[in-house]
Amino acid sequence: MRVNNNQSIIIEKLKQLSLSCHKFLSLHYLGEYKYPIEGYFALYRGAKDYDLYGMLDAVYILYTIGELEKFTSRQSRENWANLILECQDERGWFSYRNLRGHPKEHATAYAIGALRLLEVDKNERYLHKVKRIHELQDLLESKEKTIKWIKRMGFEFSLKKNWGWHYIWRGSHIGGGVPAVIHMLENVIPQWWSKNFSLDLWFNCLFDWLDAHINPKTGFWQRAFWNVFLKKPTIIDLGGAAHFYWIYEARKRSFLYPKQLIYSTISLQKENGFYKGEKPWCIDLDANFCIIRSYNQLNEKDRREVRDLVDRSIYLNFISSIKLMTEHEIDSIYSNTHELPGALIALIESSKLNEFYAELFNNWKHPLDVVAWL
């Protein structure tokens, strides 16, 4: 591994990055940023009130750098969780205080993930306080309704609404968000209804449909009207596919075309190591996840074929991200809290590739080891 000689330098830079994350969070905190930290975070600096995504992003950031437990108390985490739970509406979706504008399915999956991460102590059971999400019952009780739902994936005839499979990056917030919710609430859902649902059968139905509609040449779902003419992978395809592959991985379902997925994803990487723009964010996590998790599923022969390609890709993204985020103030890179969690988790995703990267991260933690969404 080419970065072995720089291991100590990288470790120091990661420590520096953790300190910078605290400084960044302090700019989004309403009040004095000191122990024990509670949930009063705002998506945008200078805001007068806390909001849903500000609270959730802060949970993921502190958890990822391994300092959520250190900088909170049992009481402050409970208060934080209760603030998040207050954002649940009468239908059960987390739609209140959503200044980010993501659909309710994304916000709900993200909120449930944050509540799970806040469960630092085994006696903290914030997920069991989540109110019933009524619309899930129709999906869970009917294979036909599930297939109809995933075929549509929120499609609406409006320029401002969801285009479903025709803009999969946004549509998969629904198509992936709902399964993420169901997966993370697997032990809670049986308490909501008297009827027993087989979640394994439900997921099998979903995965069977997804497997049947994937493009075997790319490993992406390319079902948009423009895919009739354009088969070349795009960033939109990648951003959408990752939301499904998170669920595949969480449910221990094998990827159908992992080698093709590696080639498709790396073909989208820019010379600067990133996948969109001049900074790392969620799409870089999506890419690293698709590459590394696919690589880990390959047989040894196929691994040898792509090993150098994978190594170069992950190294370039990793080093470029570390360099940018330690040579510039984080608040000069990111204008809101929601872009930072993906960038940080893109870094720790590299720890899934081999032992060298894993040894760099000290006490950092990977949220996707615990939850199925971010």
Tell me the per-residue pLDDT of 318-347, one tens digit each, with 9 for 90 and over: 999 999 999 999 999 999 999 999 999 999
Question: SS3 for 41?
Answer: strand
Under-70 pLDDT residues of the chain: 1-5, 157-160
Structure tokens at 373: 């969404």
Query: What is the rounded distance in angstroms from the CA atom of residue 332 to the CA atom of residue 198?
Result: 48
Query: What is the rounded distance in angstroms from the CA atom of residue 17 to the CA atom of residue 13?
Result: 6
Query: What is the rounded distance in angstroms from the CA atom of residue 206 to the CA atom of residue 203?
Result: 5
What's the whole-model pTM score?
0.97
Question: SS3 for 314?
Answer: helix
Query: What is the rounded distance in angstroms from the CA atom of residue 237 to the CA atom of residue 220?
Result: 6
Question: SS3 for 294?
Answer: helix
Q: Which residues contact residue 12 at a Cβ distance below 8 angstroms, ignoring those fewer than 6 apart?
A: none
Structure tokens at 30: 């309403």
Per-residue pLDDT at 1: 42
Q: Which of 86, 91, 117, 85 is nearest to 104 (CA)?
A: 91
pLDDT tens profile 245-302: 999 999 999 999 999 999 999 999 999 999 999 999 999 999 999 999 999 999 999 9
Orientation of helix 258-266 relative to helix 282-297, angle to 10°: 150
Provide long-range contacts, Cβ within 8 A and 24+ apart, for 85-90: 85/115, 85/126, 85/129, 85/130, 85/131, 87/52, 87/111, 88/130, 88/131
Beta-bridge partner residues of 41: 29
Per-residue pLDDT at 213: 98
Provide long-range contacts, Cβ within 8 A and 24+ apart, for 232-237: 233/264, 233/265, 233/267, 233/268, 234/268, 235/169, 235/268, 235/275, 235/276, 235/283, 236/167, 236/168, 236/169, 237/168, 237/169, 237/264
Query: What is the rounded distance in angstroms from the CA atom of residue 345 to the CA atom of residue 246?
Result: 13
Burial class of residue 216, CB neighbours in 10 A (0-12, 13-18, 19+):
exposed
Q: Which one of 1.50.10, 1.10.3470, 3.30.70, 1.10.287 gives the CATH number of domain 4-369? A: 1.50.10
Q: Are 300 and 277 in contact (CB under 8 A)?
A: no
Task: Count the alpha carbons within 13 Å of 258 in the hemisphere toward its beta carbon.
Answer: 21
Per-residue pLDDT at 47: 97
